[in-house]
Amino acid sequence: MGLFSRKKSATEAETIAPSASTEATSETVEAEESTPAVGPQELKPEELLEGGFADLGVLKIRPVEGMQVNLPSENPPFEFITFIIGNSAVQISVFAAPKTSGTWEDRREQIIAAYEEQGLTVREGKSRYGTDVLVDLPVETPDGRVGTGTIRFAGASGPRWVAQFGFHGPAVDPESAAAKMIDEFLDQVRIERGNAPHPPFTPLPITLPMEHEE
């Protein structure tokens, strides 16, 4: 099986669609520098990526050994993409944010509201990314019974973008070895937002490297 798989996995994270404004921002002035302390970093105009990076549009990733990628559909661009590393998975989305507002804290409140509206158990936790959101979801066990699974949502805010990470499996525990493997992967990710205007919290397009496009 190749790196990019269109088969869905049980570890694939549930997607929370943002409530985007219908009015696009007309800002053309560059955002002030806002570099996350950990996780994905802004791709600087003068920065030349070393070999080994895959260009996924807004995301530039460095694949790790044994990693698999689950795509949400047959046709890019995508609003999210799932990376399976070891025995865990992380789903990544990147959203547009205006220069003066729109941070992971704002996105976190959207996630909390969306799940609480469904009557699900939502709580907050702490990790290297700051305040995370943990959501308990009903899942079907292999023997057909209904159990509970947990997603951990974390994020980072950059210049006019917000990145969201949904952790599944043992990586839900931020202190686990599985989480640390994914954290190392996320630290290598670069984000290239571009200058095109987008409504706040619109998902930015994730694409495939040219050699994988059909």
* Residue 43 within any structural domain of the chain: no
151 is in which domain, residue-wise? 59-212
pLDDT in tens, the chain (214 residues): 456 655 444 344 444 444 433 333 333 334 344 667 899 999 887 776 777 889 999 999 999 999 999 999 888 899 999 999 999 999 999 999 987 767 999 999 999 999 999 999 999 999 999 999 999 999 888 888 899 999 999 999 999 999 999 999 999 999 999 999 999 999 999 999 988 999 999 999 999 986 555 5
* Residue 14 within any structural domain of the chain: no
* Residue 182 within any structural domain of the chain: yes
Are 24 and 199 contacting, i.e. CB atoms less than 8 angstroms apart?
A: yes
* Residue 50 within any structural domain of the chain: no
Alpha-carbon distance 145 to 150, whole Å?
16
Considering just the CA atoms, what is the radius of gyration of the chain in Å?
Answer: 17
* Residue 149 within any structural domain of the chain: yes
* Residue 178 within any structural domain of the chain: yes
* Residue 53 within any structural domain of the chain: no
- C-alpha distances in Å from residue 125, one per residue of 69, 151, 202: 27, 12, 26
